[in-house]
């Protein structure tokens, strides 16, 4: 009887445990994005590091490493030369089989004379899929899956988006 109950409860426990660990990444990425929005409004530039943004957010935790590249790279924010009006980072899981990957970004764009900052957090659709999250500027297309940060956008929906196949939007500033 106990074995049957354990067999039923164990998968549910593992699922809830993974969701709790993923909440860390989702919340941390949201805090970093909101901090980046405020930092840009005060300094007219994006922050160079997480420590420049928010006091007390570690770049390496038990569940994730927050990096400037999808794999490898150094912990912290990207020094973005390919999309100069944007910044982004990745949450790489310590256990790639149990929790999902995340990407987050902020882009500055101007539409009809109005300058706007917009942020997004993208979540991998399937745990353990390990599909590299590409960041594009709107002039190309995804080869696998990723996040668009388009400084040439003319409306909100074109400024930020996740590819929708491998990554989905979980947080946005509007």
Strand partners, 167: 124
Count of domains observed in the chain? 1
Average pLDDT over residues 40-63: 83
pLDDT tens track for 66-112? 886 555 445 555 444 456 688 888 888 888 888 888 989 888 888 77
Given a contact cutoff of 8 angstroms between Cβ atoms, the answer to whether 87 and 78 are in contact is yes
Q: Is residue 62 scored above 90 in pLDDT?
A: yes
Q: How far apart are CA 169 and CA 151, in angstroms?
A: 18
Look up residue 119 and give its two tokens.
Answer: 């942020």
In this prediction, residue 63 has a pLDDT band, given cuts at 50, 70 and 90, of very high
The residue among 100 and 56 whose pLDDT is bigger is 100
Non-local CB neighbours of 120 within 8 Å, separated by 6+ positions: 33, 104, 105, 147, 149, 160, 161, 162, 169, 171, 172, 173
| pLDDT confidence of residue 79 | 46
Domain membership of residue 25 as a residue range: 2-172
Tokens 């106990």 found at: 2
Average pLDDT over residues 42-60: 81
| pLDDT confidence of residue 13 | 54
Question: Which pairing describes strands 145-149 and 133-136: parallel, antiparallel, or unpaired?
Answer: parallel
pLDDT tens track for 133-173? 788 887 778 888 888 888 888 877 788 888 888 889 998 87
pLDDT tens track for 4-32? 656 676 565 556 777 888 999 999 999 88
Look up residue 38 and give its two tokens.
Answer: 């405020």
Average pLDDT over residues 39-56: 82
Strand partners, 172: 120
Element (H or E) spanning 146, and its range? strand 145-149
Non-local CB neighbours of 56 within 8 Å, separated by 6+ positions: none
């Amino acid at each position: 009887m106990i074995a049957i109950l354990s067999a039923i409860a164990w998968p549910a426990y593992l699922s809830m445990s993974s969701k709790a660990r993923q909440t860390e990444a989702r919340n941390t990425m949201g805090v970093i994005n909101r901090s980046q929005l405020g930092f840009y409004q005060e300094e007219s530039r994006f922050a160079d590091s997480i420590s420049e943004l928010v006091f007390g957010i570690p770049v390496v935790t038990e569940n994730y490493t927050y990096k400037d590249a999808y794999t490898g790279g150094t912990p912290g924010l990207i020094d973005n030369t390919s999309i100069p009006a944007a910044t982004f980072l990745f949450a790489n899981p310590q256990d790639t089989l149990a929790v999902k990957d995340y990407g987050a970004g902020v882009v500055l764009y101007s539409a009809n004379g109005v300058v706007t900052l917009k942020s997004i957090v993208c979540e991998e659709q399937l745990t353990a899929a390990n599909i590299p999250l590409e960041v594009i500027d709107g002039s190309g297309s995804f080869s696998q899956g990723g996040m668009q940060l388009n400084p040439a956008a003319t409306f909100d929906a074109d400024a930020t988006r996740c590819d929708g196949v491998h990554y989905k939007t979980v947080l946005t500033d509007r």
